[in-house]
Structure 1
Amino acid sequence: MKNVKLLDCTLRDGARIINCEVPDKDIKKIISRLTESHIDYVEVGFLRDHRKLTYKRGSTFFTSVKQIEPFIDVDTKSNTKYLAFVDYGMFDFDSLDECDGKSVDGIRVGFTKGDYEKERKNLLAAFEKVKQKGYMLFIQGVNSLGYTDSEILELCGMLNEIMPYGFGIVDTYGSMYLEDVDRIYSIVNHNLDKRIAIDFHAHNNRQMAFALSQEVMRLDAGRREIIIDATLEGMGKCAGNLNIELMVDLLTKKHKYDYNFDLLLDTIDECLYEIKQNHEWGYTVPNLMGGIYQTHPNNVLYLNDKFRLNNKDIKNIVSMIAQEKKHHYDYDYLENLYLEYSESKIDDSKSLEFIKDTFNGKSVLILAPGRSIIDFKADIDKFAEEEKPIIVSVNFISGYKDSFAFFGNKKRYENTEGTKSNERLIATTNVTLDDSKNKVINFYSLIDRRYKMYDNSVMMLLSLLNIAGVKKITLAGCDGYSETVADNYFDSEFGNNRHRKQFGEINCNVGGMLSDFINKVSGRIEVKFLTPSIYQQYIK
Structure 2
Amino acid sequence: MGEIKLLDCTLRDGGYVNDWKFGHNNLVSVFERMVDANIDIIEIGFLDDRRPFDINRSIMPDTDSVEKIYGGLDRKQAMVVGMIDYGTCKLENIKPCSESFLDGIRVIFKKHLRKDALAYCAEIKKLGYKVFAQLVSVTTYEDDEMMDLIRLANEVKPYAVSMVDTYGLMHQENLKHYFDLLNEHLAPEIGIGYHGHNNFQMGYANCIEMASQKTDREMLVDGSIYGMGKSAGNAPIELVAMHLNDCFGKDYHISQILEAIDANIMDFYKPATWGYNMFFFIAALNNCHPNYVSDLMNKRTLSVKAINQILGKLEGDKKLLYDKNYLENLYLEYQNVDVDDTADMAELTKAFAGRNVLLLGPGMNVEKQKARIESYVKENDPIIVSINFVSELFKPDYIFLSNAKRYVQLATELLQKGDEFKVIATSNVTKTSGKFDYTLKYATLLDEDAEIIDNSFIMLLKVMIRLGVKKVALGGFDGYMGDRRKNYVNPNMEYKFSKKQAESLNEYVCTVLKTLSDELEMEFITDSLYAE
> TM-score normalised to the size of structure 2?
0.50
The one-character-per-residue Cα deviations of 1:202-247 (angstroms, maximum 9, x if unpaired) are: 000111111111111112x252211001000000121100000001
Cα pair 2:163 2:195 within 8 Å, conserved? yes
* Aligned twin of 1:55: 53
Instruction: Measure the CA separation in 2 of the matches of 1:36 and 1:222.
Output: 29
* Aligned twin of 1:84: 82
* Aligned twin of 2:45: 45
* Aligned twin of 2:30: 30
- SS where residue 212 of structure 2 aligns? helix
* Aligned twin of 2:227: 234
User: Could you tell me which of 150, 153, 157 is aligned with 2:147?
Assistant: 153
* Aligned twin of 1:352: none
Instruction: Measure the CA separation in 1 of the matches of 2:187 and 2:257.
Output: 34
- SS where residue 240 of structure 1 aligns? coil
Does structure 1 residue 103 correspond to structure 2 residue 101? yes
User: Could you tell me which of 245, 249, 267 is aligned with 1:252?
Assistant: 245
Runs of 4+ deviating beyond 6 Å = none
Kindly state the Cα deviation for residue 65 of structure 1 after the two structures are TM-superposed: 1.2
Kindly state the Cα deviation for residue 62 of structure 1 after the two structures are TM-superposed: 0.3
Cα pair 1:11 1:20 within 8 Å, conserved? yes
1:455-474 matches, within 5 Å, as none
The aligned amino acid for 1:56 is D
Q: Percent identity?
A: 32
Kindly state the Cα deviation for residue 83 of structure 1 after the two structures are TM-superposed: 0.5
Residues 238 and 105 from structure 1, CA distance in 2 versus in 1: closer, same or farther, beyond 3 angstroms? same
Residues 74 and 138 from structure 1, CA distance in 2 versus in 1: closer, same or farther, beyond 3 angstroms? farther
The one-character-per-residue Cα deviations of 1:286-312 (angstroms, maximum 9, x if unpaired) are: xxxxxxxxxxxxxxxxxxxxxxxxxxx
Residues 152 and 167 from structure 1, CA distance in 2 versus in 1: closer, same or farther, beyond 3 angstroms? same
Cα pair 1:156 1:188 within 8 Å, conserved? yes
Kindly state the Cα deviation for residue 2 of structure 1 after the two structures are TM-superposed: 7.0
The one-character-per-residue Cα deviations of 1:44-63 (angstroms, maximum 9, x if unpaired) are: 000012xx322122111101
Residues 283 and 248 from structure 1, CA distance in 2 versus in 1: closer, same or farther, beyond 3 angstroms? closer
The aligned length equals: 277
Instruction: Measure the CA separation in 1 of the matches of 2:68 and 2:249.
Output: 33
User: Could you tell me which of 267, 281, 284 is aligned with 2:260?
Assistant: 267
The aligned amino acid for 2:84 is V
* Aligned twin of 1:5: 5
Does structure 1 residue 132 correspond to structure 2 residue 126? yes
Kindly state the Cα deviation for residue 261 of structure 1 after the two structures are TM-superposed: 0.7
Instruction: Measure the CA separation in 2 of the matches of 1:74 and 1:163.
Output: 31
The one-character-per-residue Cα deviations of 1:139-169 (angstroms, maximum 9, x if unpaired) are: 1110111111111111111111100001111
Instruction: Measure the CA separation in 1 of the matches of 2:71 and 2:117.
Output: 32
- SS where residue 172 of structure 1 aligns? coil
Residues 283 and 36 from structure 1, CA distance in 2 versus in 1: closer, same or farther, beyond 3 angstroms? closer
Kindly state the Cα deviation for residue 76 of structure 1 after the two structures are TM-superposed: 2.9
Instruction: Measure the CA separation in 2 of the matches of 1:163 and 1:74.
Output: 31
- SS where residue 43 of structure 1 aligns? strand
User: Unaligned regions of 5+ residues in structure 1, if any?
Assistant: 285-540
- SS where residue 268 of structure 2 aligns? helix
Cα pair 1:207 1:283 within 8 Å, conserved? no
Kindly state the Cα deviation for residue 124 of structure 1 after the two structures are TM-superposed: 3.6
- SS where residue 7 of structure 2 aligns? strand
1:173-188 matches, within 5 Å, as 173-188=167-182
| Bigger relative CO (Cα 8 Å, ≥ 6 apart) | 2
Residues 74 and 259 from structure 1, CA distance in 2 versus in 1: closer, same or farther, beyond 3 angstroms? farther
The aligned amino acid for 2:76 is S
Instruction: Measure the CA separation in 2 of the matches of 1:29 and 1:265.
Output: 13
* Aligned twin of 2:110: 112
Instruction: Measure the CA separation in 2 of the matches of 1:123 and 1:264.
Output: 34
The one-character-per-residue Cα deviations of 1:413-435 (angstroms, maximum 9, x if unpaired) are: xxxxxxxxxxxxxxxxxxxxxxx
The one-character-per-residue Cα deviations of 1:11-50 (angstroms, maximum 9, x if unpaired) are: 001121111111011101111110111101000000012x
Cα pair 1:251 1:257 within 8 Å, conserved? yes
User: Unaligned regions of 5+ residues in structure 2, if any?
Assistant: 278-532
RMSD: 1.8
Instruction: Measure the CA separation in 2 of the matches of 1:187 and 1:151.
Output: 11
User: Could you tell me which of 189, 198, 206 is aligned with 1:204?
Assistant: 198
* Aligned twin of 1:279: 272
The one-character-per-residue Cα deviations of 1:487-530 (angstroms, maximum 9, x if unpaired) are: xxxxxxxxxxxxxxxxxxxxxxxxxxxxxxxxxxxxxxxxxxxx
